[in-house]
Amino acid sequence: MQLKNFGFNWCEPNDFSIVKDSIATDCAFIFFRTPVKVWIQNGYKELEASTGMFWTRGVKQIYYPVGIKDMVHDFIYINFDTDAEKDYIQGIPIGFPIYFPEPQSIIHIMEVINNEIYANTKKQYKYEILPRLIEILIYKIRNNIDFQSTNPIESPYYNVIGKLRYDIYNNVKYDWTIKTMSEYVNLSPSHFQKIYKQFFLITPTNDVIRARIANAKS
């Protein structure tokens, strides 16, 4: 397994864009820390922060920031040396969003890979360690995929609830109650809570708590 390109906590201006008919490597994974608009099959979709996507050769790769803020993302491009290595990504949706209710697990392993890349070049076993770390990253991603749940991208509520979650994480001091959140998306409280948990695998109340804890840590 060969690491061809990597970026950790990479910041691009709000006029940045990627437009490729195909990536140049066997596989790429992008983890978006800020909202983006991406090409999915035959149209564009806005994705919330903490969403990732895989691409392989022959799959169109188009994405760019949403809004006036800069785009922050992590990316990794790899080539496989054997068919066995290609099996690592079997079953992972290619060219479709992957939602991470606990994004810190992905950010952490990306940071470990970043530190290993920029460690002393004479460090023993460095190039044996990197492929193992990439394997761990892929397994962590697979752990986040719930193939039995409804794909949120197909829901008519995806954009508005995605925007709500973005606002929650960027306005943690606001009084986010079930009432205020359900009114935000114009749904009944019970229906709202059910859909929110389907999308993000966490209840809206617990997600508000998580957002406040993350804000306090940062």
How many residues are recorded in the chain? 218
pLDDT of residue 160: 84
State what percent of residues in the chain have pLDDT above 70.
Answer: 92
Which is higher by pLDDT, 214 or 203? 203
The CA-atom distances, in angstroms, between 197 and each of 5, 99, 165, 193 are 34, 12, 12, 6
Q: Band of the pLDDT at 6, cuts 50, 70, 90?
A: very high
State what percent of residues in the chain have pLDDT above 90.
Answer: 39
pLDDT of residue 191: 86
The pLDDT of residue 152 is above 70: no
Q: Band of the pLDDT at 148, cuts 50, 70, 90?
A: very low
Quote the mean pLDDT of the chain. Answer: 85
The pLDDT of residue 103 is above 90: no
Whole-model pTM: value is 0.67
The CA-atom distances, in angstroms, between 64 and each of 25, 103, 120, 151, 208 are 20, 20, 34, 22, 27
pLDDT of residue 117: 85
Per-position b or e across 100-130, b if 16+ CB within 10 A of its CB: bbebeebbebbeebbebeeeeeeeeeeeeeb
Per-position b or e across 171-204, b if 16+ CB within 10 A of its CB: ebeeebebeebbebbebeeeebbebbbbbbebeb
